[in-house]
Amino acid sequence: MTKSPAPYPDESDGYWMHYHDEDSQKLADAIIAYAVDRIRLDPPPLDAPKPLSVLQREVGETITAEGLGAMKALEIFTQQLAPSCISVDHPLFLSFVPGAPTESSVLFDLVVAASNVYGGSWLEGAGAVYAENQALQWLVSLAGLPPTAGGVFVSGGTAGNLSALIAARWQWRQRARGAMDSRRPIIIASGGAHSSVGLAANAMDAELLHAPVDDAGRLTASAVRSTFMALNDVDRARVCAVVATSGTTNIGVIDDLSGIGDFAREHQVWFHVDGAYGAAALCAKSVRHLFVGIEQVDSLIVDPHKWLFGPYDCCALIYRDVRIGKAAHTQKAEYLDVLIQDSTVALDEAYNPADLAHHLTRRARGLPFWFSLATHGTEAYEEAMEITLQVTRDAADMVRNSSHLQLVVEPSLSIIVVRRLGWQPADYTRWSDRMLHDGLAFVVPTTHNGETVLRMCLVNPRTDPAQMQMLFDSMRD
């Protein structure tokens, strides 16, 4: 295969980089082979970050005037850059909230990138939006929300929480008929709420009130009510939203969704649930009872890239009434007039995803999740969820039967918080560093009520009890 003469003498490489030739075919073959081999590694290498000075020495400058060539650039990534990134899909990556994408979702992510679909409008991406909305409707059905519910896939929980609370503020001001247009809103949440709730409050110039949690770390309706009633009449009118969490990031507890939902309905306050990690377990019958009350939400988020087996990045933002999200977020501009839809028309799937969050440009990031759901079916998702929950129960029993470990809190979902008797903070750090250095596991310390402990988050169906026992045994020394 040879290149035809470029149409303009001064356009050679700059012209041909957009066309297929022998070099791009070699690149395509190499990339597909690497991608398939990587997702089928069982387990993948844990790997570890390298210091900046090491990468500067070993990799050096990669952006040059003449270019490195595709195969050299791919070699640098696969041989030097990728091994400097910890594999979040390793079965013993148990820090933060890991990921465990299905093979089908990862492969289809290649299709999404190759299709280069703009996912912001029905006009430009109707087929993609249609598919994404079917995946969203499965989540809507799990939460028990009404036919008016709908939403959009955003980049992550931070974006989802911010957009939901922007809608809450819009609704609060609409109800006040202009009386609150220049007033700062108040948001009530717990100290266990994700840090992104505080970030959203700062971005919105809202005041964040932290209601106390109970001994189990749960936000209760009585605590929300006490915080609300302690305000004077003027400030009570400023409360635009209450945020509950279904699976707190640090210890995995589920707030009193039913009671808080009742409070929100009573006082006409927007009820938002951050389920970025934990709400995925709605599909598991064994823990479904823990989420009673979630059907009262005005908005909800859940991240498929966490515990619903999709690749980064993907957060489902769901509104009880999608029309409120649309009214709060639709951007106005002359060149966008062609996308404007009549808000009085019947609710249907043709709403523009760009109108439902604080974004305009948007990748169709929900498609890999949709493809995995469509491929495997919802029963497979329920079975995979139950596997991780059972491994968590087995691991908790191992800790209870241990002479050197204690459970700090009883697991609600799939987060285990462990105390190693006799250890000081430095001991936890040394153990964590050794596990990563030896390529065995990635488990970093956290703190709970001021105490340094170990937190393990299980979302990967390939994590098995024997691996957990190995970790616990390694803490004997």
pLDDT digits (tens, 9 = 90+) for 47-90: 999 999 999 999 999 999 999 999 999 999 999 999 999 999 99
Note whether 108-376 and 378-473 share their fold. Answer: no
Q: What is the mean pLDDT of residues 265-290?
A: 98
Task: Kindly report whether the peptide bond that precedes residue 342 is cis, defined as omega within 30 degrees of 0.
Answer: no
pLDDT of residue 346: 47
Bridge partners of residue 243, in order along the sequence: 272
Residue 448: pLDDT band (50, 70, 90) is: very high
Tell me the mean pLDDT in the region 211-229: 97
Q: Could you state, in order of their start, the residue ranges of all structural domains in the chain? A: 108-376, 378-473
- The answer as to CATH 1.10.10.10 being correct for domain 108-376 is no
Count other Cβ atoms within 10 Å, centred on residue 34.
Answer: 14
* Banded model confidence at residue 4, pLDDT cuts 50, 70, 90: low
pLDDT of residue 333: 85
So what's the pLDDT on residue 55?
Answer: 98
Give me the pLDDT at residue 388, please: 98
Give the pairing of strands 315-319 and 150-154: antiparallel
Number of H helices, E strands in the chain: 17, 11
Residue with tokens 């709060």: 328
Indicate the class that CATH gives domain 378-473: alpha beta
SS3 content of the chain, % helix, strand, coil (to 5): 45, 15, 40
The pLDDT of residue 269 is above 90 = yes
Percent of all residues in the chain with a pLDDT value above 90, rounded to a whole number: 91
Please give the Cα distance from 183 to 186 (Å, whole number).
Answer: 10
> Nearest-CA neighbor of 431 among 448, 449, 453?
453
Residue 54: both structure tokens together: 């090491």
- Alpha-carbon span 141 to 145, nearest angstrom: 6
What pLDDT digit, counting tens, does each position of 302-314 carry?
999 999 999 999 9
Residue type, 136: L
Which residue in the block uniquely carries the two structure tokens 């691991």? Answer: 395
Percent of the chain at pLDDT exceeding 70 = 95
Whether the predicted pLDDT of 226 surpasses 80: yes
438: tokens are: 């030896």
Tell how far CA 190 is from the center of its chain: 20
Check if the beta carbon of residue 130 is closer than 8 Å to that of residue 349: yes
Q: What's the mean pLDDT in 16-41?
A: 93
How far apart CA 314 and CA 305 sit, in angstroms, is: 6
pLDDT given at position 351: 83
pLDDT digits (tens, 9 = 90+) for 335-376: 787 877 654 444 455 689 999 999 999 999 999 999 999 999
Question: Can you tell me the mean pLDDT for 219-234?
Answer: 98
Residue environment code for 300-328, b if the CB has 16+ CB neighbours within 10 A, otherwise e = bbbbbbbbbbbbbbbbbbbbbbbbbbbeb
- Choose between 343 and 463: higher pLDDT: 463
Q: If we measure between CA atoms, which residue out of 281, 245, 261, 283 comes closest to residue 157? A: 245
Alpha carbons 78 and 352: distance in angstroms, whole number: 38
User: Is the pLDDT reported for residue 36 higher than 50?
Assistant: yes
Q: Can you tell me the distance from the alpha carbon of 369 to that of 119, in angstroms, rounded to the nearest whole number?
A: 14
- Give the Cβ contact number of residue 29 at 10 Å: 10
Give the pLDDT band (50/70/90) at residue 12. Answer: low
Q: pLDDT-based confidence at 6, cuts 50/70/90?
A: low
For range 442-469, the mean pLDDT? 98
pLDDT at res. 464? 97
Residue 191, C-beta contacts closer than 8 angstroms, at least 6 positions apart: 210, 212, 213
